[in-house]
Amino acid sequence: MTKAAFDKIKAGLDEAKAYLDGSGDKSRYGIHVPNRVNVKKIRTRLGLSQESFAQTYGFALSAVRDWEQGRRQPERSARILLKVVEKEPEAVMRALAKSA
């Protein structure tokens, strides 16, 4: 292992330790929940109908329709789930799958 690689790994470990013990700058690790999410764009990119999208990810069909037609905006928790669906749809499907 080169010294440069070692120094990079050590710096990462030092950052993780600082985060865990509370001495790190936690503002660097915050999350951003968007005010708006383009539900139709997410759904169409996945190639799903409104009904299939709602069933697959646990949304009410009426909510999906209202979001896409601009009658309502998803609440904060729904926006978070929608962003996860946008980035990692398979992970959400695995998490929501029925156990045998």
Q: Kindly report, residue by residue over 30-84, the tens digit of the pLDDT.
A: 778 999 999 999 999 999 999 999 999 999 999 999 999 999 999 999 999 999 9
Q: Kindly report, residue by residue over 20-44, the tens digit of the pLDDT.
A: 787 877 677 677 899 999 999 999 9
- Token output for 34: 């968007």
Number of neighbours of residue 13 by Cβ within 10 angstroms = 10
Q: Give the pTM.
A: 0.69
Pure H helices in 1-100: 3-21, 39-45, 50-57, 61-68, 76-87, 89-96
**Structure letter (DSSP) for residue 31:** -
CB 61 within 8 A of CB 18: no
Distance CA 51, CA 61 (A): 6
Of the candidates 99, 14, 90, the residue with the CA atom closest to the CA atom of residue 57: 90
Position 100 confidence tier, pLDDT thresholds 50, 70, 90 = low
Give mean pLDDT, residues 3-7: 84
- Cα 11 from chain centre: 27
